[in-house]
Amino acid sequence: MKKTKKIKDVAKNKITDKQRLDFLQMLTDQKMYTGLVTMRMSETGRGWRLHETSRDNFFNNVSTDVRVALDAFMKEYAEQFSKVNFDKGENQ
């Protein structure tokens, strides 16, 4: 029987941000649902969501590219949630 890896064991094998994004893009490209991804705030106030969506005419940050959806969300909410200026690519 195959052992299930524990989170602390997985954390020892460093995964890069590029690998994370490439993995999410690969899942999106498989179009298991729609192939459209969005990052948005929850409509019920329970935090943020990164997910596939069929509501491309409802959400602002819908794309077939995970990076584009993330970038659009980050730029839209940068002033509210962060001290990072994404337009200049620097911390404030």
pTM: 0.70
Note the helical H segments in the chain: 7-12, 17-29, 66-81
Which residue matches tokens 């509501």?
55
Question: Which residues touch 84 (CB under 8 Å, ≥6 apart)?
Answer: 78, 90, 91, 92
Mean pLDDT of the chain: 82
79 token code pair: 């002033």
The answer to whether 69 and 25 are in contact (CB under 8 A) is no
pLDDT in tens, 9-46: 666 778 999 999 999 999 999 999 999 999 988 889 89
Q: Rounded CA gap, 55 and 67, in Å?
A: 18
C-alpha dihedral, 17 to 67 to 26 to 21, nearest 10°: 10
